[in-house]
């Protein structure tokens, strides 16, 4: 289950790759590249690339900007990622 810590504005997921999969899938549906997303979201390309490739934390403001460009909310992206976790990983 995702953990949102508003005091340090970081979202940590047990399986961050799942969130990256959701973002990449939405990019594909939109016919957009990750580089284009970085530009539109105002996130440095290197940072976005790292968020989509390496598991780890993502800042909530980055997630919100990514979601806005994709026409979703950050909550929707997190919900989609949570649903993709393997059975048993949601405990």
* Structure confidence by residue, pLDDT tens digits, 51-68: 888 767 888 999 999 999
| Residue of higher predicted confidence among 24 and 3 | 24
| Residue of higher predicted confidence among 2 and 45 | 45
Taking residues 10-38, what's their average pLDDT?
Answer: 82
Cα–Cα distances in angstroms (integers) from residue 49 to residues 7, 37, 43, 61, in the given order: 25, 10, 10, 16
Helices 74-83 and 16-30, packing angle to 10 deg: 110
Start-to-end Cα distance in the chain: 7
| Residue of higher predicted confidence among 13 and 71 | 71
């Amino acid at each position: 289950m995702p953990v949102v810590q508003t005091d340090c504005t970081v979202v940590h997921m047990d399986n961050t790759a799942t969130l990256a999969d959701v973002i990449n899938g939405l990019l594909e549906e939109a016919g957009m590249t990750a580089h284009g997303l970085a530009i539109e979201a105002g996130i440095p390309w290197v940072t976005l690339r790292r968020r989509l490739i390496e598991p780890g934390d993502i800042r909530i403001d980055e997630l919100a900007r990514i979601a806005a460009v994709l026409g979703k909310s950050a909550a929707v992206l997190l919900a989609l990622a949570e649903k993709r976790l393997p059975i048993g990983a949601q405990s």
